[in-house]
């Protein structure tokens, strides 16, 4: 088939998918694992199933602008439902799958969701717990084949109804698709925020389309590229740079089975590109590190496969030591920067123009400026429409067209942006000295014996830290030093020799910093911080307020002593 519209002239995200379906036909668009093997969905079948989903929604009474929820882990159905919601003229509201029933209820109720897609019985059970607090919710559609009763319908049956009605509804669906323009609302994404209640970020078709295009233009992928995805689509990072970028570029998107199978799936797919958060790269590097740098490099290359062109990193600061270790192994790990409010990419390092210690240069169409107080400001078509039902927060965030990011940063003479911290996270010691904690934390977790670190000291006369060791590496390092690192984590945390060993490594990691930036006392923790415990955001940023409150007694004892 041929298209009357050329690539680059798409009006909205649904139109972009139609263009690729007409252009590429039976070429694979999505690869996902089913019954133990990867299967392909073509571009034409992709668009057709999206239309079936949209037809079923319209038949159910979904109107243009209705908010429709999508509570699911990554899977093929997530992509189809997302595009189907928009094809019906709806607005996708996708809570993160690990959230509790109460957290999901807040987002769905705040957005006024009327229909909801869920993935599994577990997710349906969450909705059952809070259904009485969702008066506007009409029907739930379940992806898995389960006996759901009258309160829900199956995805298979829902699509079958859409397939039956599609012939008579094609004209109406095309009318709805053509009615979507740059300012049409596409999604409301609730920030998982490091502090406070989540806010609903309103992103338009223009926001998402322009950002996917600009990201692709900044770092073009060859036509034979293969994208690999494992980050959640309920987070804007993966949704734009994996999901929508694959549609814009017309290249196949391959889905990991789960978070636990990422390394195995990399071996199955052998992709050319992958985006991830720093935590993943840190864990992979730690797992393969050995005394021989050449062997470490060989192991890294073996994990990511022979076709990797470059890897992308975002969502949280990438320690320079990690990027440099990958580069020595012959793998280019490029960092970018963005916010949910910016759909999300603001800057990115390019394969042919990068500085590993920075988050790159602005992507096409994006302006970056540094405010008088060092805050990073940005302006362009990527900036959100605003916060849902929160005009005050919108006015505070966007002033004179510039989004105030809340991040501190610098721009060098070549336009490369360096993020130095968060305005609200700068620690002010009792002597007036200021410390940016995430800079210290990046240095600390570069040590193979330290898995996670959170620095504290607001209003205090010195810095302290909560440290989660990498227990396997710690045991090996202590043995090499003639010490015993054997034992369970809970026991090791209480041993003075273990604390002293970690303290020496902290001193080495921070040796080049000023006296007031030294960590003088520490608490060892036996378990890592997690999303499930609400200590990390879905993009694995530390939720400092939660962590500080949880370990308040332990931290207070450090200063009392």
pLDDT at residue 361 above 70? yes
Q: What are phi and psi of 311, to 5 degrees?
A: -110, 145
Report the distance separating Cα 81 and Cα 113, nearest Å. 15
Whether 2 has a pLDDT exceeding 90, the answer reads no
pLDDT above 50 for 4: no
Q: What is the DSSP letter of 221?
A: P
Q: Is the pLDDT of residue 288 over 70?
A: yes
- Distance of CA 64 to CAs 54, 58, 79, 80, 179, Å? 11, 9, 20, 18, 9
CATH number at residue 252: 3.40.50.12780
Mean pLDDT value of segment 317-342: 95
pLDDT tier at 1 (50, 70, 90 boundaries)? very low
| 354-370: average pLDDT | 97
Mean pLDDT confidence for 282-303: 93
- Same domain (yes/no): 220, 307: yes
For residues 419 and 431, state if they share a domain.
Answer: no
How far out from the chain centre does Cα 535 lie?
16
User: Worst-scoring range by mean pLDDT, 98-102, 138-142, 393-397?
Assistant: 98-102
How high is the pLDDT of residue 143? 97
Q: Over the stretch 367-403, which tens digit does the pLDDT of each residue have?
A: 999 999 999 999 999 999 999 999 999 999 999 999 9
Dihedral sign of CA atoms 438, 402, 346, 361 in order: negative
> Are both 556 and 482 inside the same structural domain?
yes
pLDDT band at 193 (very low <50, low <70, confident <90, very high): low
Same-domain check for residues 171 and 221: no
Per residue in 416-472, pLDDT (tens digit) is 999 988 887 888 887 778 788 988 998 999 999 999 999 999 888 899 999 999 999
The predicted-structure confidence for 22-72, as pLDDT tens digits, reads as follows 999 999 999 999 989 999 999 999 999 999 999 999 999 999 999 999 999
Question: Do the domain assignments include residue 555?
Answer: yes
**Do 82 and 70 touch, CB atoms closer than 8 A?**
yes
Has residue 464 been placed in a domain?
yes
- Helix (H) / strand (E) element for 333: namely strand 333-338
CA atoms within a 13 Å half-sphere pointing along the CA-CB vector of 555: 20
In a domain, 55, yes or no: yes
Least confident of 150-154, 300-304, 362-366, 449-453: 150-154
Tell me: do 451 and 486 sit in the same domain.
Answer: yes
Residue 25 lies in a domain: no
Same domain, 360 and 474: no
Question: What's the pTM?
Answer: 0.84
Q: Residue holding tokens 């020595």?
A: 328
Average pLDDT (122-150) is 92
On whether residue 255 sits in a domain, the answer given is yes
- Domain identity same for 102 and 229: no
Q: What is the mean predicted confidence (pLDDT) over 397-411?
A: 95
CATH number, domain containing residue 139: 3.40.50.980
Strand order in the sheet with 152-154: 152-154, 139-142, 115-118, 67-71, 91-93, 185-190, 200-204, 386-387
Q: Are residues 257 and 399 in the same domain?
A: yes
CA distance 502 to 481: 12
DSSP secondary structure string, 58-86? HHHTPPTT-EEEEE--SSHHHHHHHHHHH
Q: In the chain, pLDDT over 70 holds for what percent of residues?
A: 97
Q: What is the CATH number of the domain that holds 492?
A: 3.30.300.30
Say how many domains are in the chain.
3
User: Of all helices (H) and strands (E), which one includes residue 214?
Assistant: helix 205-218
Of 97-101, 166-170, 363-367, least confident by mean pLDDT is 97-101
Are 214 and 335 found together in one domain? yes
Q: Give the confidence band of 6 by pLDDT, cuts at 50, 70, 90.
A: low
Question: Which residues span the domain enclosing 467?
Answer: 427-560
On whether residue 18 sits in a domain, the answer given is no
Judge whether 81 and 98 are in contact, CB under 8 Å: no
Mean pLDDT of 78-99: 96
Same domain flag for 418 and 528: no
Same domain, residue pair 240 and 118 = no
Q: Is residue 13 part of a domain?
A: no
Domain boundary among 423, 446, 463: 423
**pLDDT-based confidence at 543, cuts 50/70/90?**
confident
Tell me the pLDDT of the chain averaged across its residues.
Answer: 93
Residues 216 and 334 in one domain: yes
The pLDDT value given to residue 495? 94
pLDDT band at 192 (very low <50, low <70, confident <90, very high): low
* Residue pair 427/369 in contact by the 8 Å Cβ criterion: no
The answer to whether 105 and 133 are in contact (CB under 8 A) is yes
- Of all helices (H) and strands (E), which one includes residue 281? helix 278-288
Residue 158 inside a domain? The answer is: yes
- The residue from 404, 423, 442 where one domain ends is 423
């Amino acid at each position: 088939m041929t298209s009357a519209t050329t690539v680059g002239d798409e009006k909205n995200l649904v139109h972009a998918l139609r263009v690729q379906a007409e252009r590429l036909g039976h070429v694979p668009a999505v690869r996902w694992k089913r019954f133990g093997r990867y299967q392909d969905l073509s571009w034409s079948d992709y668009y057709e199933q999206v239309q079936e989903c949209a037809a079923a929604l319209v038949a159910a009474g979904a109107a243009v602008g209705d908010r429709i929820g999508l509570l699911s882990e990554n899977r093929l159905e997530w992509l189809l439902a997302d595009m189907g919601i928009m094809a019906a003229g709806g607005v996708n509201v996708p809570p993160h799958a690990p959230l509790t029933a109460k957290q999901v209820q807040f987002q769905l109720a705040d957005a006024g969701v009327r229909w909801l897609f869920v993935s599994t019985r577990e997710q349906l059970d969450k909705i059952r717990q809070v259904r009485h607090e969702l008066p506007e919710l009409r029907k739930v559609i379940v992806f898995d084949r389960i006996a759901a009763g009258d309160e829900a319908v199956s995805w298979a049956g829902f699509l079958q109804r859409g397939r039956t009605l599609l012939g008579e509804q094609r004209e109406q669906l095309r009318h709805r698709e053509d009615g979507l323009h740059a300012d049409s609302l596409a999604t409301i994404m609730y920030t998982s925020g490091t502090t406070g209640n989540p806010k609903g970020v309103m992103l338009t078709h223009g926001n998402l389309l322009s950002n996917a295009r600009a990201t692709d233009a900044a770092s073009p992928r060859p036509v034979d590229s293969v994208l690999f995805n494992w980050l959640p689509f309920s987070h804007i990072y993966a949704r734009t740079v994996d999901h929508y970028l694959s549609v814009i570029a017309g290249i196949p998107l391959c889905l990991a089975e789960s978070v636990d199978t990422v390394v195995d799936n990399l071996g199955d797919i052998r992709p050319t590109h992958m985006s991830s958060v720093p935590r993943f790269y840190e864990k992979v590097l730690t797992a393969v590190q050995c005394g021989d740098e050449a062997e470490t490099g060989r192991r890294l290359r073996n994990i990511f496969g022979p076709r990797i062109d470059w890897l992308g990193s975002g969502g949280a600061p990438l320690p320079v030591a990690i990027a440099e270790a990958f580069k020595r192994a012959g793998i280019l790990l490029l960092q970018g920067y963005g916010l949910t409010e910016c759909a999300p990419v603001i800057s990115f390092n390019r394969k042919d123009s990068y500085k590993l210690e920075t988050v790159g240069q602005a992507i096409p169409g994006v302006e970056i400026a540094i405010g008088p107080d060092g805050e990073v400001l940005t302006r362009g078509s990527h900036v959100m429409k605003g916060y849902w039902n929160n005009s005050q927060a919108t006015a505070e965030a966007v002033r004179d067209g510039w989004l105030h990011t809340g991040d501190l940063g610098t721009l060098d003479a070549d336009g490369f942006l360096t993020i130095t911290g968060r305005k609200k996270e700068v620690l002010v010691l009792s002597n007036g000295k200021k410390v940016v904690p995430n800079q210290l934390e990046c240095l600390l977790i570069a040590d193979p014996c330290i898995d996670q670190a959170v620095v504290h000291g607001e209003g205090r006369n010195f810095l302290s830290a909560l440290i989660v060791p990498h227990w396997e590496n710690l045991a090996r390092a202590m043995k090499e030093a003639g010490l015993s690192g054997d034992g369970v984590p809970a026991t090791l945390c209480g041993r003075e020799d273990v604390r002293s060993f970690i303290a020496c490594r902290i001193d080495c990691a921070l040796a080049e910093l000023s006296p007031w930036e030294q960590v003088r006392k520490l608490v060892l923790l036996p378990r890592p911080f997690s999303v499930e415990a609400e200590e990390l955001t879905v993009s694995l940023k530390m939720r400092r307020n939660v962590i500080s409150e949880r370990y308040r007694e332990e931290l207070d004892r450090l200063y009392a002593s």
